Amino acid sequence: MKQTWRWFGPSDAISIAEIRQTGASGIVSALHNILPGQAWSVDDIKTRQREIEGPDDAPTGLNWDVVESVPVSEAIKGQTGPVQEHFEAYRQSLRNLAECGIRTVCYNFMPVLDWTRTDLRYPLANGGNAMRFDLVDFIAFDCFILCRYGAAEEYSAEIVAQAQERFAKLGDAGAQALADNVVAGLPGANDRWSLSEVQERLDAYREVTADALRGNLIDFLSEVVPTAEELGLRLCCHPDDPPFALLGLPRVMSTQSDYAAVLDAVESPASGATFCTGSLGVVQDFDPVAFIEALGDRIHFVHLRNTLRDGVSDGDRHCFSEAEHLAGDTDMIATIRALMAEEKRRRTAGRTDHEIPMRPDHGHALLADHERPVQPGYPLIGRMRGLAELRGAMAALA
């Protein structure tokens, strides 16, 4: 697999010069300043490419391999407002990316929020920090801070009672910190929204069922995949994170069968999956090897990350923390072995995309990471440790 590294652009506290020292050989980036629904211009794409590649007389040796993400607008996800304009802008971004030689484009189809955690600095026994999702805290946020209409009915009475007790102990500062963690503009999230804005966006989806949202995703793909296919581009959908319904919002990309349904509906090599073990792995019966064996030929991008279910559950919703890359609930070695077997199948079939780009997704904040403000989940040393462990596993399996 090609070992890539996510770089948020010139505002990222970690520089390209530092990334060169991690051993990564490719870059994942996006034009985060361009709003969903607007087209990315060739000029803007080329500027980012130059920032990554360095000047001609001192090239960094790194290229922009994967776009994560060209975000899908709320208009497209909810099918309201300027949907046709946004489809056209998306197609234009794809044309412009292809013109600049970039072929792999990640996106997600989670309405309103991107990834969600309740604690961005959960202390580990070794002195590091991890990100964590505590279901009881989350329900405390949903029922008693956001006070979402009808929220309590979506959970069991026992867990709502636990959440109420938790909320009573939080105090004003604790409640504010929890709310900030949940709705803060995490990397990839569209914006930084206040609680009342979150509520407004949630209201927009009140009538949207999971089937309707899946229909909107399939419509989106029907609109943009033919263009991607013509251009030789690979779109890949990131799973829901966490992979269960939150805040009453429908979720449609949480499991292998969700992927099978959407990939079958628009049959094209240009429509594929971002295989994120960290997100999918929170589901109790996630089987990474079965997923790769069934849908591997449509996996265009891989996020290797591990999670550990580490607390109470309520139906299919769980507490989890982000584990070391080789520890946690997902058998990372079996996963890598299966992905490498998929690469071998592609080489035998003569596919040009036989080297699948992967990145170490998230990492614990370790050592000097504590002194440096970075995007939550994206510290230098923790990710470098993850990449080094994954690289070792790949070398051994090869």
Q: Which residues are catalytic?
A: 238, 276, 303, 361-362, 378
- State in angstroms the smallest separation of the CB of 278 from ligand DNO: 7
- State in angstroms the smallest separation of the CB of 274 from ligand DNO: 7
CA gap 350, 283 in Å, rounded: 34
Residue 353 sits in the site that holds ligand DNO (CB under 6 A): no
What are 76's two structure tokens?
Answer: 């497209």
Please name the helix (run of DSSP H) or strand (run of DSSP E) that holds residue 89, with its range, or none.
helix 83-99
Residue 188 sits in the site that holds ligand DNO (CB under 6 A): yes
Residue 254 sits in the site that holds ligand DNO (CB under 6 A): no
- State in angstroms the smallest separation of the CB of 57 from ligand DNO: 33
Residue closer to ligand DNO (CB basis): 68 or 137 = 68
- Residues of span 294-313 touching ligand DNO by CB under 6 A: 303
Q: Are 293 and 339 in contact (CB under 8 A)?
A: no
Residue 109 sits in the site that holds ligand DNO (CB under 6 A): no
Q: For tokens 């079965």, what's the residue?
A: 290
Number of residues that bind ligand DNO (CB under 6 A): 14
User: What are 226-230's contacts with CB under 8 Å, separation 24+?
Assistant: 226/268, 227/91, 227/94, 227/95, 228/94, 228/105, 228/268, 228/270, 228/271, 229/268, 229/269, 229/270
Q: Which of 87, 20, 86 is nearest to 53 (CA)?
A: 20
Q: Which of 106, 151, 198, 224 binds ligand DNO (CB under 6 A)?
A: 106
Interhelix angle 380-397/332-348, rounded to 10 degrees, is 60
Residue 187 sits in the site that holds ligand DNO (CB under 6 A): yes
Q: Are 393 and 360 in contact (CB under 8 A)?
A: no
Q: Of 94-102, 107-115, 158-166, 328-336, which segment contacts ligand DNO by CB under 6 A?
A: 107-115
Residue closer to ligand DNO (CB basis): 163 or 243 = 243
Q: Are 36 and 71 in contact (CB under 8 A)?
A: yes
Residue 114 sits in the site that holds ligand DNO (CB under 6 A): yes
Residue closer to ligand DNO (CB basis): 10 or 185 = 185
Residue closer to ligand DNO (CB basis): 107 or 259 = 107
Residue 116 sits in the site that holds ligand DNO (CB under 6 A): no
Q: Are 89 and 34 in contact (CB under 8 A)?
A: no
Residue 360 sits in the site that holds ligand DNO (CB under 6 A): no
CA gap 77, 100 in Å, rounded: 27
Residue 107 sits in the site that holds ligand DNO (CB under 6 A): yes
Q: Are 279 and 133 in contact (CB under 8 A)?
A: no
Residue closer to ligand DNO (CB basis): 69 or 181 = 69
Residue 238 sits in the site that holds ligand DNO (CB under 6 A): yes
Residue 259 sits in the site that holds ligand DNO (CB under 6 A): no
Question: Which residues have C-beta within 8 Å of that of residue 213, sequence separation ≥ 6?
Answer: 77, 109, 111, 205, 250, 251, 252
What are 394's two structure tokens?
Answer: 């790949």
Residue closer to ligand DNO (CB basis): 52 or 66 = 66
- Residues of span 362-381 touching ligand DNO by CB under 6 A: 362, 377
DSSP code at position 161: H
Q: Which of 108, 181, 321, 335 binds ligand DNO (CB under 6 A)?
A: 108
Residue 67 sits in the site that holds ligand DNO (CB under 6 A): no
Contacting positions for ligand DNO (CB under 6 A): 68-69, 106-108, 114-115, 187-188, 238, 303, 361-362, 377
